[in-house]
Amino acid sequence: MKINERAKAPTPKIFKKLRNIGLIMAAVGGTILTAPVSLPALVSSIGGYIAVAGGVLSSVSQITVEDKTVKEEKNEEQ
């Protein structure tokens, strides 16, 4: 299964929730990094880690597909 097909295939319910949480984390991290006030280095560092973790969580959750979809594709190939 190609990555484009995986992204378009149905995503399980739990991974949809995780994807949304990841998007929120990325938004919060981005907001911390681009804050107009000067923040301590520790807070900026944590904001960067939150943004990266949110992006990874969202992308991994998006390409996770239901087992039925993978089985159907294997049957079509045979």
The structure's pTM equals 0.74
Predicted confidence pLDDT, tens digits, the chain (78 residues): 677 877 777 888 898 899 999 999 999 999 998 888 888 889 989 999 999 999 999 988 888 887 765 666 666 666
**Beta-carbon count within 10 A of 51 CB:** 19
Beta-carbon contacts of 50 under 8 Å, excluding residues fewer than 6 positions away, are: 25, 26, 28, 29, 32
Q: What is the pLDDT of residue 12?
A: 86
- Identity of the residue numbered 38: S
